[in-house]
Structure 1
Amino acid sequence: MVTHDIAVIPGDGIGKEVVPVSLDLLNVLADIHGGITFQFTEYPWGCDYHLAHGQMMPKNGMEQLKQHEQIFLGAVGDQNLVPDHISLWGLLIKIRRECEQVINLRPVKYLEGVSSPLANPNDFDFMVVRENSEGEYSEIGGTMHSGPDEVAVQNAIFTRKAVERTIRYACALAEERNQKVTSATKSNGIVYSMPFWDKILAEVGEDYPKVEKQSQHIDALSAFLVTKPSSFDVIVGSNLFGDILTDIGAAIMGSIGIAPAANINLDGKYPSMFEPVHGSAPDIAGKGIANPIGQLWSAKMMLDHIDYPELASLLFDAMANTIASGIKTPDLGGKHSTEEVVDEIHKRLLANA
């Protein structure tokens, strides 16, 4: 019997509702497999913790997390309690940086039963690989002066090491899929970092001769995600560009409530982290109508990461078929509760095991 040691941070808002039901289904999947168990260690960190202790996690929080195999995160933030920049940098980004989770991976896929705002979605199915450690989100810069002479400087940092490993990850992923990589750039306007990014794409691309590689400027690429999303396979971009493109991806799927993400540590030195991207949704917290799909899809990504693709597929199919059957939460146009959606997924897991 193999035991997987998972740190669990339900966090804020609906995270406290969708994380527990996701853990229940992960245990169901472990029983179906028969040869694995999950050991979940829950950490009550988030905005409520900050109100009580003045920080989003204890001083030794990272030491505790680094002892686990993976991290399963619910939601971070409630601006009614703690300013967003404090909650984000005090927990989510802190974990990403200190656990060296250098790749952010987000799937974008049309799901039957979810109303996409696109007139002709054409069954799009692509992955976005986002550089997750530097770029436009570096902490280098500052402000000076005040009044009409006030100046703010924010430096975007691009290292060969980070750019190369991100592009290489994208190319390797494309080899497993449909062998096409689209790189987000803006070399006609950002004259140093983006030509640097393009140069590394060309160099790394030589190691993947079967993969078709193209660069598209971020403004045009954003438009193409709306007009012809089915033409993409793997998209790779910097921290900012990847962030923007994945929000567009969630929008064309029909709801940010179903969008998952994986923050990948490439060498296994520290845990990777799996999370939905819907935020804590404090406006519906406690009402029993939170959409569990984003959290469950992130659990699917965790199962893939720890090398249980059959269980991952079983979970995804149960989720997708539940939605296609019309059993879905109000954000997707349905009338069912979180519990009803999860119960149906549970039934389908057992029926198809």
Structure 2
Amino acid sequence: MAASIRDVAAAASVSVGTVSNVLNRPAKVAPETVARVLAAIADLGFVRNDAARQLRVGRSRSIGLVVLDAGNPFFADVARGAENRADEADMAVLLGNADEDPSREARYLDLFLEQRVNGVLITPTTDDVPRLKRVQDAGSPVILVDREIEGSGFCSVAVDDVEGGHLAASHLLAAGRRRLMFLGGPQSIRQVADRLEGARRAVDAVAGATLETVEMPALSVLHGRAAALAMLEKPAGRRPDAIFAANDLLAVGAIQALAIMSGVRIPDDIALIGYDDIDFAAATVVPLSSIRQPASLIGYTAVDLLLKELAEPGGAHERNVRFRPELVVRESTTG
């Protein structure tokens, strides 16, 4: 039979209230008493009933994190940064993978509310502000991660994706490329739309430059490969001389189709740049140029914003943090 808090109190010769203080407010208890209670906990193998504690205090020690695609290393790094900051605050991160599916995202939001999480960090699949407002109105602050929704009132941590798209296309144009292709996912995903907008601005500023848009159903390696193979069915003169992929996974798939499966020379025949600068980008068969986002810092900062919002809802702290993207040049665009 599992040891109870009363068993710990009896073993340490203290009251149940003292054991509770040791577990929740140790600064209120004399150090020698804390040591005695902790020794009793260790001897008895006591594990606190956190579900019961949540019912009493109305809140857990957890934070919900919903990402677009847990299979994308970018979001793994975001989660790692969030976990590091949460650990500093003696909290834990519960991860939900929306898999670019709004209905799945909604189920995670409901689950996190049932778990009474301290707050929700989310890279939303859509701009469904009312749904996120319901989460916040239920007592769990919402922090947007890698996204902003203008006028929503939510705190956010993001990168300027319009600038990032402009950087990527401008780099290709500066290398003399004029027939660009933007390889993206659903434009309902705001990051995809913003990166495309930045690329369009760069292309529109250069006489004779064109931008073809290819929209795939998901931002995955398999879809990048399929898009590149479909592009190769065109006559050589109608193919792009450069591809800007909306993320590195799409770019990796395109490299597989072009350099490995089809013998296309990168960058001689087609230059290629991705977005996110995941760890694997530098290790592809042709090292991938990319637009770097500080993924781990984004996650860390999002939890930091949440903690400030919990301490001072709607307070004077910085509410919208925006990092600048960085161009990382490798062999896929320079040869």
Tell me if both proteins adopt one fold, taking TM over 0.5 as the criterion: no
TM-score (norm 1): 0.29
Larger-Rg structure: 2
TM-score (norm 2): 0.31
More strand by share: 1
